Amino acid sequence: MPLAGVTVAVQGRSDSGSSAITDADGRVALTAGVGVDVVLRLSKPGYTDQVKRLSLPGAAGSDASFQASLMPRAAPQTLADAAAGGTLGRSDGAGVVLPPAALVDAATGAAVTGPVQVTLTPVDVNAAAVAAFPGRFEGVNGDGSTTPIVSFGTTEFLFSQGGRPLQLKPGARATIRLPLYASLELGGAALAVGGKLPLWSLDERSAQWINEGQGALVADAASPTGLVMQAEVGHFSWWNADKGYTPYRPKPKCINDVPGQYDSIFEQATLCKMLAEMDRPIPAQGSAAPGTAGRPWP
């Protein structure tokens, strides 16, 4: 359904026309440049943030369009005292263990004490909520290479005090738990306690997921699959249990196996063009099959 009041801004820009607020129909118009890739940040109080990467056309006056979904953010919980640390969790298995004196103001770096608000918002990658999956289904490996990814579950970890965002101080580590909504690999193998999955955090500047090691699979009856991924992290953001994969696409070639099969160069050229169209990459769309990892389709 249309969502009004969403602030949409071009990352890294502050000039006129680079940000706007959606109207009653959920529409917005921006001026963002020509022939470049931009990242849009979408935000609205009470909803999870979203980032979308958009490739703009190379001709002045041309239009580019996008669609994005936001989901309601989970109700905040209160951690009694940041100086003491503590443990918070949800009924679906999402959770965080914060060590003492680990939080700072994200803008100033000042140490934080007293009560803080914490929201843990998971995304069910096997339900309609997958439309609110943030960023692209694309990850960056440790060697800088990129890969399409499949998601087993992702959660937003947000800490604040008096409306000001908080972060872990440099060198501090917190333990997080991500509920898993898929229990099978793409190949059909079942996930099991004691296994591991790659751990990814969202880079909101590029709308890509960055690999940050691995997390361990542990049992948790509260999770929809009975499994959560547990890991230590050095900052709070969106965190994701994902795996990279190599997409399968047939690669037809234009080869005339039978000499004299075509009566003219025109006929062979027509066939070559048809095969080239079949070989064009298919745009990815967020989707998932029940019980399997959420992934771009096809």
d(CA 138, CA 148): 4
Q: How far apart are the C-alpha atoms of 4 and 10, rounded to whole Å?
A: 18
pTM: 0.78
Boundaries of every domain in the chain: 7-55, 77-244
Rounded-to-integer distance, Cα 222 and Cα 242, Å: 20
The half-sphere exposure of 195 on its side-chain side, counting CA atoms within 13 A, is 14
Cβ neighbours of 73 (radius 10 Å): 17
Residue-by-residue pLDDT tens, the chain, 298 positions: 789 999 999 887 767 668 889 999 998 888 776 777 889 999 999 999 999 888 777 666 667 778 889 999 999 999 999 999 999 999 999 999 999 999 999 999 999 999 999 999 999 988 888 888 999 889 999 999 999 998 999 999 999 999 999 999 999 999 999 999 999 888 888 999 999 999 999 998 889 999 999 999 999 999 999 999 999 999 999 999 999 887 665 555 554 444 554 444 444 444 444 445 444 444 433 333 333 344 333 3
CATH number of the domain located at residue range(s) 77-244 in this protein: 2.60.220
Rounded CA gap, 104 and 109, in Å? 5
